[in-house]
Amino acid sequence: MAGILDSKSRIMDVVITEQGRRQLASGQMKIEYATFTDIGAFYSGDVDGVIEDPTGRIYFEAASDLPSDLITFETDDSGFLVPYRADNLGVGGKNLIISGSARNKDNSTGAASAISSAILESWNNLQVIGTNDPLDDEQGFTLSRKTATFSIRRDFPFKKSDVKVAVIDDIEGLNNDVRLSNLQNFKYLPPVNSVGALAGRTIGRFPDNNEKSDSDKQQLETRLSFLEFADIDFVQTSIENNFVMQVFELSGDDGIIKLDVIDYGTKRSSKDPNKFVRTLFAGKIMRDGYSNPTFVNIFTMEIS
């Protein structure tokens, strides 16, 4: 059992970073995980291996607004990337600078490698304190493949009967999108009477325009089963297999864009009933002519 012997002494500095202050101002700050680091600690011992008395040392307050404060890429309310800096990379808005020079429009592979290296660099610079599990001999992270190529032709992946060109105004908005039909906030909620003889009954007849029927979901899942796919296996990973995934679009005209991801939820695999599959839709959120947000799906990921 441990405790604080002197309650009047400051033992910890907690400083909100620039990104945290931005989220706090917009009401989106949510603390979910905590890590501890000894990056500001100074270890010194005498000849007998006993730690020296640190009371005579000068201590500085916790530093903030360091490059390592931001590990993953974040976007602001307008969808642009929050400024991100590392040793060989700098990102702001839609601009991506690698090693002090603008990114080559034809070198998307090099840009993807630079982004991954920058995220790993920020994480390592935090010097997080952790414990290695002696029973877990796999601490690395290795994938079966690093790239995947998909074929886009005049007749594939779209069939002759498929819609090849769509206007944003003709696409279902987020409120009616089948990809969000499993969330409580997007379910059909007609107003009902709360008191009186009609308590529990709807006030009137309101159309339910949500794509929530079983036929809509089956049609979506059937469509996914006929699309071209690429399997990527975790060759080496930890027991928990915890990982963070972000999806970007790199193009010569628009620069770097962080795509939005919709979590469709987890369901039992149709190929193996003993496995569960989590479906994620990656794409962009655009505004239609009525300023309603509309999700445009680019590709789909299934994790099992």
| Amino acid (one-letter) located at 203 | I
Q: How would residue 1 be classed by pLDDT, with cut points 50, 70 and 90?
A: very low
What's the predicted TM-score (pTM) here? 0.72
Q: What is the pLDDT of residue 282?
A: 92
Average of pLDDT values for 122-147? 80
Strands, sheet with 276-287, edge to edge from the N-terminal-most edge strand: 260-268, 276-287, 293-303
pLDDT at residue 170 tops 50: yes
Higher per-residue confidence, 31 vs 112: 31
DSSP conformational letter for 72: S
Average of pLDDT values for 145-154? 82
Q: Quick: pLDDT tens for 88-98.
A: 777 776 666 66
CA distances in angstroms from 199 to 97, 189, 202, 203, 208, listed in the order given: 61, 15, 8, 10, 21
Please state, in angstroms and rounded to a whole number, the distance separating the CA atoms of residues 61 and 58. Answer: 10
Higher per-residue confidence, 11 vs 145: 145
Average of pLDDT values for 188-194? 80
